[in-house]
Every structure is written in structure tokens, then in C-alpha cells.
Chains A and B, each alone.
Chain A
Amino acid sequence: MTKPVLALQHITKQFGHGHTAVKALTDANFEVAPGQFVAIIGPSGSGKSTFLTIAAGLQTPTNGQVLLNGTELATQSEKARLAYRFNEIGFILQSSNLIPFLTVTEQLKLVDKMAKRPFQKDKAKTLLAELALSEVVDAYPNELSGGERQRVAIVRALYNDPSVILADEPTASLDTPRSIDVVERLAKEAHQHQKAIVMVTHDQRLIGNCDVVYRIEDGVMTRQ
């Protein structure tokens, strides 16, 4: 098997202290390799989002290690984690991923501005075409359908060539056919472009395309 690009080892996350303490994650172990499409499935409140925020460096775990390409992340400074998120992680949120006052093209231009490089026109064109968005390149997010918005979020996540894409319930606001469409596209991106993609969902029907499935129940993570 190829080396994992992202690995979380013995992760525990506890909120609060004493008898009010909530253990959102208990000794979670996880890894994903390039070209893998991984699903994390579990009921509401089981710790899925907590897991993703720790993987993205948005929160530090109480115990355990986050290794990105073998480098420990949890001990790094806030600034280093910000750069890590920008360069290595593509995040797709449940909703409101996009910046309301930027057009689809401008969402991508912003990524280039932040990276201080010229707009990668051809790359944008290819990615947008791949996700069937060529018709809406100049539309603002509020002019797009929910499915289009999620696909733009996927393009935006892929555009910066991150090592890992983390998607938190990317299909939550979509109906089943559109959900299946979005998930199929994610699977295709993972396999075609050798991306590591991690998707959180609570919908059993969407995990057919996934290479690996993890299940979380009350903060305990098991690989299926």
C-alpha cells in the first residue's frame, strides 16, 4: 500500500473538565493515502466534525498526533497551521463554502491572489468543465443551485492542488440524485488525480463509491 498522506494516531479530544467533560473522540486512528476516497460515517453528535477540524488543524487534539506526510502538525504554531490549511488542505463545508460577493471565477482568482501567483486560467477552465460548471463561471453563489454551489466548492478545493481534501457532509443540502452525482465526482477526482479525499456523511447510500469506510459511534472510530 502507498504511504498515507494524512494519518491521525491515538487522537483523543475532550471538551470541558471534571464531571461536565465531553469526550468527543477516544483513541481514534485513521489514515488516508493518495488516490483514496474515504468515507467517515456516523450518527449526529458522534464526533465526525470534531475529527475533521483536528485533521485540518483547526483544533488541537487533547492527545495524539496528526501527521501530514509524516510531519507532526498538532505542535505547530497557529501561523504554520494556517499555511498548512491553505497549501495542503482543501476544505468543503456542509454549506456556505463560497464567498458571496465573488463570482465562480473570482473564487478561484482569490486562491491565486493569496498564493501571490497569476491566475491559472487554463487550470480553472479545465476544472470547471470537469464539474460541468462552464456555463456559470460568471455567476455569484446566490445565483447557483445547491448542487452547483457544492461543485464550485469542490473545484475551489481542488484548484490549489492540496494533498488532502476534507469534505464535511458535502451533500447535506442536496437531494439524493444530486448527492450521488457530487459523490461520484469526488470519487473520480480522487482516482484520476491521485488525491486523498475524506468525506463525512451520515447517509449510508452514498458510501458505495468509497474505497475505505470508517464508522464513528460515540467518539470511537472503527475501520470497516
Chain B
Amino acid sequence: MYLGLKEMRHEKLRYTLLSGVLLLIALVVFMLAGLANGLSNGNRQAVDTWQAQTVYLNKNANQTLSASQLKLADKSKLTGNQVAPLATLAGTLRTTSNSKKTTTNALATSRNSFLMPKIVSGHAINGKNQILISAGLKAKGYKIGQKVRLGTTTKTVKIVGTYATNTYMISPTVYTDIATLNRLKGAPITSGKQQTINGFVTKKSQFKTSHHGDLEKISINTFINKLPGYSAEQLTLNTMIYFLFVIALAIIGIFMFVLTLQKQPLFGVLKVQGIGTKHILAALLTQSVAMALIGIVLGLGITVGLAQLMPAGMPFVINWSQYGLYSLALLIAAVLGALLSWRTVANIDPAVAIG
């Protein structure tokens, strides 16, 4: 400890540079993690707010909501409380004058279903052709009472309420009832039990009998992982993060190894004086952990700072427990990197110092 820290103090430039490299790695790890979280959240936020357990889709839909077609009447095949129908339409929200256009994901469920978001201003849907908009759309200038178009039809709907920020597959959401959505889709049936929907979302439920036609039961986690692009995106970003841990380990390992080779005569002198491998290794560990800590702390600080400066449209979410875990992984990489020099240190022959 003493040896390691004193050396760092004396060789400021060398250790500052190495800390700087670790800072950059930590920064990239934290930025990538923030983006991965942001993208993940952007994709699944709507699903997470449901706090549901199970989803029922058409078994031929490859577990994808938009590809699934069911009828409202299929609900009779399920038992359980809180079984909510769900229909979606990815479409453009625009003002009647076409002066404003925003890509949204419209979600429809029955008016009193548990999927309906908590109203922040305005009122819940209580009649035909009404929609609720999420905070992101409100921020874009859409207002309660405004008549808007959704999708490609010329039919208009009225904004009657707003709710908290909410996105599904990166786009801000709009909520409406099943009949309104079917009308906007131009579906042939726009009332009654024969209306088409995409699936059912439930908290606790099961099939009534083993004869359940085309219905397939999937867990909410499977549902999220099957969101188009979601798994591939997360896998890509997470793989980059895991590679960075390996790179951090390699960089510390190589640096410490080169420094150890350079300092062999010094370590020889230490051994002559009875200061053994254990103490030398402790010094190397102190140094790499200290550098990693400097890099991590500064990296976190800069990440938080950059997050404030990021444009609102950039999906970036800081998850502290995850950052804690990644910091720990970087620290472990630093410790392992230093330990790579263990054999070299152990093999230094004190007799060489005597010459």
C-alpha cells in the first residue's frame, strides 16, 4: 500500500495517463449502458407500466403482438380476473391541418381495463372517438380538446386526456378504446364481440380448457424479448460492454506487466532487503485498484454530466445498481490485470540486484 501509493505520487504523469485510459473505458461502458437502458426502456416502457404477467397471442404470430390476430370473443377461452384485450396501430399522429406530424404507437384496450394509463390531466375515455396522449406528445404541442388524425384515414379523433411519459418500441404512446382503434384502422367490424384485436394481457389467468384454438400463452418476459429488434439491440450493446471489460483487463494487465519488467532491478533490491513478492504484489494491486477507482469515479461524474446535456430525444437512462455492478466488474478487471504480473514478480531473483 505504502510503496504503491508513494510511487504513484512520484510518477504522476505515468499513472495519470493510465488512469485516463481507464477513465475513457469506464466512460464508454457507462455511456453504452445508459444507451442500452434508454433503448430498452423506450421499447418496453408501456409494457412495464402494465405490471402484467402473461400475454395471449395467436399461436401463428411468432409471439409478436402486431402479427397476432384474435377476436374479442376469444376472451371466453380464458379465466382469471384482469384479462384485458389489446390492439395496436403504429401510425402517425397529425393535426387536422397537417402542420404537426409525430410517429406514435396507438394502444387500445377496453375503457375500464387495468392497461389504461393513469390520467394526469383531462378525463378518461367516456365516449366514441376519444384518445389519451402521453406526456411526450403533450410536450410536442398536442393539446386536450384538439381534433387530430391518427393513421392514414381522414377520420378525426379528439384528445381528452394526458398521462405520464410512455413509449412503446421507441415511439410515444396514445391510448384509445378498441372500437375507436378499429374505426381508425378501417376494420370491417367496429363494434361487438367479433371485433379483431391483437392479444390479451393479464395479471393472473389460465386457459379454461385444453381446447383453446389458436391462442398461445406467453410470459411477459418472452413478450418483451420478442419485441421486434429488442433482443438484437440489447445483445449488441451488452456484448460491446462485455468486450470493454476484457479490454480493460488487457490494458491494465499489459501496462502493469511492462512496468514490472521495467522495475525488475528495483524489485530485486526490495527482495534483497527482505521485502518479498507478497509486498510487491500488494503495491501493484494498490496501484491498479487506485487507477481503476479514479477512472470509475470520474467516468461516472462525466456520464452524469453528459446525461444532463443530452438532447431530449436521445434514449438514455441511468440505472445506478447496474452502474454499481459494472464498476465492480471494472475493479475486478483491474485486480486480475495486476495479478497477471504475479509470476514475473515471484520469479525475480534477488541475486541479480547484486551483480
Q: Which residues of A are interface residues toward B (Cβ below 8 A)? A: 49, 52-53, 56, 58-59, 79, 82-87, 89, 91, 93-94, 96-97, 99-102, 106, 109-110, 113-114, 140, 156, 168
Contact = CB atoms under 8 A, between A and B. Distances in A.
B266 interface: yes
Given A93-B269, A140-B10, A83 B351 contact: no
Interface of B: 2-3, 6-7, 9-11, 265-266, 269-276, 279, 350-351, 353-355
Contacts of B274: 82-87, 89, 114
Contacts of B279: 114
A114 B3 CA distance: 10
A38 to B, nearest CB: 18
Given A58-B272, A114-B275, A93 B7 contact: no
A22 to B, nearest CB: 15
Contacts of B275: 86, 110, 114
Contacts of B6: 101-102, 106
A84 B295 CA distance: 40
A52 B271 CA distance: 15
B349 to A, nearest CB: 8
Contacts of A83: 274
Given A99-B269, A101-B7, A110 B354 contact: no
B273 A53 contact: no
Contacts of B2: 109-110, 113
A84 B354 CA distance: 18
A86 B273 CA distance: 6
Contacts of B354: 49, 52-53, 58, 93-94, 168
Contacts of A110: 2-3, 275
A99 to B, nearest CB: 7
B287 to A, nearest CB: 12
Contacts of B271: 82
A56 B3 CA distance: 23
A85 B10 contact: no
Contacts of A113: 2
A101 B354 CA distance: 20
A113 B10 CA distance: 19
Given A93-B272, A156-B273, 8 more contacts: A79-B276, A82-B276, A85-B272, A96-B266, A96-B353, A101-B11, A114-B275, A140-B10
Contacts of A84: 274
A140 B9 CA distance: 13
Given A49-B355, A58-B354, A110-B3, A96 B265 contact: yes
Nearest to A97: B269
B160 to A, nearest CB: 72
Contacts of B350: 58
Contacts of B276: 79, 82
Contacts of B3: 99, 110
A102 B9 CA distance: 10
11 contacts: A49-B355, A53-B351, A58-B354, A82-B271, A82-B276, A91-B273, A94-B355, A97-B269, A99-B3, A101-B6, A110-B2
A100 B266 contact: yes
A126 B350 CA distance: 30
A82 B6 CA distance: 23
Contacts of A168: 354
B37 to A, nearest CB: 42
Contact of A101 (B10, B269, B272, B273): B10
Given A96-B265, A114-B279, A58 B351 contact: yes
Contacts of A79: 276
Contacts of A53: 351, 354
Nearest to B7: A101
Contacts of A96: 265-266, 269, 353
Contacts of B273: 85-86, 91, 156
Nearest to A54: B351
Nearest to B3: A110
Contacts of B269: 93, 96-97, 99
A85 B11 CA distance: 29
B266 A99 contact: yes
Contacts of A106: 6
Nearest to B277: A82
Contacts of A156: 273
B355 to A, nearest CB: 7
A106 B6 CA distance: 9
A93 B270 contact: no
A145 B270 CA distance: 21
